[in-house]
Amino acid sequence: MEYVYLTKEGLDKLKKELQDLKFNKRPIISQKIATARDHGDLKENAEYHAAREELSLLETKLHQLQDKVARARIIDENDVTIDHVSILTSVNVQDLKRDKEYEYTLVSSEETDTKMNKISIASPVGKGLLGKKVGEIAEIEVPAGILRYKILSITK
């Protein structure tokens, strides 16, 4: 079984979304189905079929969230070290081609937020930075070519 590594806040967010889908959205969709069923012939009832499709998509999402929660492992931020790039570290890099600096925080796929520069450890850049130490060069293959990042600093 492959674990899903999350912060406490990330797990709480998934659980909250799961509760919302189960106890708020599912009853609403079930009511739509019941209402559409009352309109008569189900073979030609587009409203009924649309509501059933919506419920099917919701059930798939519910199953995926339940699976992630079941496989979740909490990462204790106190256990994270800054001697190398790892999950929950922030890394300041210099793009050697463009001579620009970027800062990324490496997180799980479920906690990715590009607006906050939180990138997934499963992304090409995240994978390429993992394990690197200050001063090392990371050569990362991305669809646009090869990125060359020099690790300037690592923080929590």
Q: How far is CA 108 from the centre of its chain?
A: 6
Structurally, the chain folds into a number of domains equal to: 2
Whether residues 97 and 40 fall in one domain: no
Q: What is the CATH number of the domain that holds 26?
A: 1.10.287.180
Whether residues 105 and 125 fall in one domain: yes
Question: Is residue 40 over pLDDT 80?
Answer: no
Give the relative orientation of helices 26-37 and 46-71 as an angle to the nearest 10 degrees.
160
Whether residues 90 and 27 fall in one domain: no
Whether residues 57 and 93 fall in one domain: no
Q: How far is CA 112 from the centre of its chain?
A: 5
Question: Is residue 42 over pLDDT 80?
Answer: no
pTM of the model: 0.74
Domain of 48 in residue numbering reads as 4-74
8 A C-beta contact, residue 10 and residue 116: no
Q: Tell me: the pLDDT tens digits for 85-122?
A: 999 999 999 999 999 999 999 998 889 999 999 999 99
Q: What is the DSSP letter of 135?
A: T
Whether residues 70 and 82 fall in one domain: no
Whether residues 45 and 110 fall in one domain: no
